[in-house]
Amino acid sequence: MKSALLDSPIGYLKGVGPAKAELLQKELEVFSFEDLLYQYPFRHVDRTTFHRVADLTPDSGDVQLRGILRKLETVGAGPKKRLVAKLRDDSGVIELVWFKGATWLVNSLEIGKEYVVFGRVSSYGSGLNIAHPEMEEFDPEKSKTAPTLLPVYSSTEKLNSKGLDVRARRRLMVELLQKIQPSDLPENLPDELLAKLRLPSRYAAIRGIHFPLSQQELDAARKRLKFEELFLLQLRLLQLKHGRHASVKGNVFDQVGEYFNRYYREKMPFELTEAQKRVIKEIRRDLGLGIQMNRLLQGDVGSGKTMVALLCMLIALDNGFQACLMAPTEILAQQHFQSITAYLDGMGIEVGYLTGSVKGNPRKAVLERLASGDLHIVIGTHALLEDPVEFHRLGLAITDEQHRFGVAQRARLWNKSKPFPPHVLVMTATPIPRTLAMTLYGDLDISVIDELPPGRKPITTTHRTEAHRLRVFGFMKEQIALGRQIYVVYPLIEESEKLDLKNLEEGYEAISRAFPKPEYQISILHGRMKSADKDYEMGRFVRGETQIMVATTVIEVGVNVPNASVMVIENTERFGLSQLHQLRGRVGRGADQSYCILMSDYKLGKESRLRIETMCRTNDGFEIAEADLRLRGPGDLEGTQQSGILNLKIADLARDGRILQFARQIAQQILDEDPQLQHPSNARLKAFLDSQKHALRGWSRIS
């Protein structure tokens, strides 16, 4: 039962008039008391300790100062207009600066008064300053009685300038907390669990996260709320998984027959790695159970996911079913089509290809052959999900590179297979960190290929700047003389597409001058080109007719040219870590020593430097994924943006891995003992899950 008080519109709170209510809605999506309550502070200020101005350095970070306001003036004009102040304490003077909201501040600050200032130190010219600090008049009386730890809420320019700055936000929270009784925040975790884990009640934790009386209270509140958030999420995911296992029947693939055996014994060009064997065993077990499989296959770039996919498709064929393999891009679909038809040569297996660009009669033919069952396997893009595509008997759908389906897509796919939905295998392009996998894919079974095929030499990665350009060209020439091929990759992001294209073209020209015809042949590839031209250029490179491929990140996923052994990445600072790793994975696929050269400006931001260092230090995709998560946070990782599941209020997947693992373990234990949550001690959990049934719809996927 939800408390009526918490449901009250935010405008009913004392101190929130219509204008502020609208602002809170627009800026923070706060509509009710409850929404405001769940705006947790992202840090607290210890108001008992003050820094001395003389001790500050560019690395001091967030500091609290106490001093007299000495000077206050508006400088510049137009968009450059800013308010500059000086604060003096008994050790020195520091500059404070505001770029926006200055007019309003000028009227509220007073020279000669003593202020408590809170903000982040940054270096400015040869000195230090603090931009947009919080200012509060120093009040000796208040500072004696006030709590020591004050919450700091994330804010926006608008809120700050319209009377909802951090102090006003605190006042609102005090107001709200005064109204809230324990009955408004009923406990949602079992008492036994709280006792066992020594966690405070929900009521105590929510009060404690806003206005803790001590660091210990704050820590306990945080721990409780993080645990609750992750635990309830895992409980939902695991229940979804259990529920599906119990209710969604699947086609039984109980035989391994002619296709699989013949291919495995006679045609497979290499021996599987132990990891590949293990994963295939896991999948085979799933396929025989009569329950629809939903499995995530994780493996580093080059770990051989394609062969695993192929062998699984053969099992489907052996049981009289068709299989499809879907890729996110046309180029990748083509590559899959080429490599799979080559692998299957002489097996008497019919493989079709379907993407948006297959039109007219060829399209008609593919559709007919799929419907009649003449085609055993089809490889393509999302076009495979469209309505006219009908299968004779689809048994297995494999999606490459982090495809997650929405509800509509899922329904479409399921309709293509009767009477049961197809088994589903999702393959990720690059590894994702454990914590993220557990959350994003927490309702799937997970298989991991944690071993690369034998004989791979680790790729040597180096960092170079423009000053090394000639040497880099020289190195490229040496490699070409050895018969190798080279990629040169430029960033292309949508906002600056034109500029990027210009970069690419200039780069292409520079390389053309340094590597003249006819000795050297160069391919160019970017997203703006016509499909046929792309094919042509890619084809020339694949056949070894060109030695250098100048391209944008269109080559990022999946492309496989084993003779390419050098990857030069331009403007490295503009790429994310997992993208860099993915790009590097395009080389090192043959027997030769391979190289990755990361070109960048001499001057780099801290994050770019860390990314580049990480790339130079390790080739391990899982390690890189972890570093990426730490650097950028889960919200920014590729493929996760749309996922509402990462809207965590307080837990942080980069830091709270241990809590997450623990929470999942406990959720699993509870569901193992009491799958339907019928035991009275689990009544709260059952009530929670029942209340969430509808919420799950928005976050859907093939699973």
DSSP-assigned states of every residue in 9-40: BGGGSTT--HHHHHHHHHHH---BHHHHHT--
- Tokens 């009908």 — which residue? 390
The answer to whether 653 and 446 are in contact (CB under 8 A) is no
Shortest Cβ 453–ligand ADP spacing (Å):
3
Q: Which amino acid is at 397?
A: A
Q: Which residue is nearest to Mg ion (CB)?
A: 558
Shortest Cβ 647–ligand ADP spacing (Å):
31
Shortest Cβ 59–ligand ADP spacing (Å):
41
User: Cβ closer to ligand ADP: 44 or 295?
Assistant: 295
Distances in Å between the alpha carbon of 463 and those of 136, 400, 482? 47, 31, 23
Shortest Cβ 400–Mg ion spacing (Å):
6
Q: Read off the tokens for 420.
A: 């049961």
User: Cβ closer to ligand ADP: 373 or 453?
Assistant: 453
Q: What angle do CA 58, 60, 62 make, to 5 degrees?
A: 120
- Out of 9, 270, 418, 502, point to the residue binding ligand ADP (CB under 6 A): 270
594 belongs to the binding site for ligand ADP (CB under 6 A): no
Residues 525-564 that bind ligand ADP (CB under 6 A): 560, 562
Q: What is the dihedral sign for C-alpha 284, 289, 292, 297?
A: negative
3-state secondary structure of 584: helix
431 belongs to the binding site for ligand ADP (CB under 6 A): no
588 belongs to the binding site for ligand ADP (CB under 6 A): no
Q: For residues 413 and 397, give the distance between their C-alpha atoms in angstroms, rounded to a whole number.
A: 9
User: Cβ closer to ligand ADP: 304 or 442?
Assistant: 304
Q: For residues 219 and 212, give the distance between their C-alpha atoms in angstroms, rounded to a whole number.
A: 9
**Roughly what angle, to the nearest 10 degrees, separates helices 577-584 and 621-632?**
160
User: Cβ closer to ligand ADP: 10 or 397?
Assistant: 397
Q: Read off the tokens for 328.
A: 């996110």
Q: How many residues bind ligand ADP (CB under 6 A)?
A: 16
User: Cβ closer to ligand ADP: 124 or 270?
Assistant: 270
- Out of 32, 64, 160, 276, point to the residue binding ligand ADP (CB under 6 A): 276
Shortest Cβ 621–Mg ion spacing (Å):
12
Question: Segment near ligand ADP (CB under 6 A), from 93-101, 193-201, 302-310, 440-448?
Answer: 302-310
User: Cβ closer to Mg ion: 169 or 403?
Assistant: 403
- Out of 453, 527, 539, 576, point to the residue binding ligand ADP (CB under 6 A): 453
299 belongs to the binding site for Mg ion (CB under 5 A): no
Pick from 639, 641, 638, 643: which is nearest to 696 by CA? 643
* CB neighbour list of residue 55: distance below 8 Å, 6 or more residues apart: 91
Q: Is the bond preceding residue 190 a cis peptide, omega within 30 degrees?
A: no
Binding mask 304-333 for ligand ADP (x = CB under 6 A): xxxx--------------------------
Question: Segment near ligand ADP (CB under 6 A), from 175-183, 267-275, 282-290, 567-575?
Answer: 267-275
User: Cβ closer to Mg ion: 105 or 340?
Assistant: 340
The answer to whether 527 and 554 are in contact (CB under 8 A) is yes
302 belongs to the binding site for ligand ADP (CB under 6 A): yes
3-state secondary structure of 110: coil
338 belongs to the binding site for ligand ADP (CB under 6 A): no
Question: Segment near Mg ion (CB under 5 A), from 533-541, 554-562, 625-633, 660-668?
Answer: 554-562
558 belongs to the binding site for Mg ion (CB under 5 A): yes
Q: What is the DSSP pairing of strand 548-551 with strand 485-489?
A: parallel
Indicate the helix (H) or strand (E) that contains 298.
strand 294-299
581 belongs to the binding site for ligand ADP (CB under 6 A): no
Question: Segment near ligand ADP (CB under 6 A), from 298-306, 439-447, 470-478, 694-702?
Answer: 298-306
The answer to whether 47 and 117 are in contact (CB under 8 A) is no
DSSP-assigned states of every residue in 152-172: E----HHHHHTT-SHHHHHHH
Q: Which amino acid is at 256?
A: V
| Footprint on this chain of Mg ion (rule: CB under 5 A) | 558
| Footprint on this chain of ligand ADP (rule: CB under 6 A) | 270, 272-273, 276, 299, 301-307, 453, 560, 562, 589
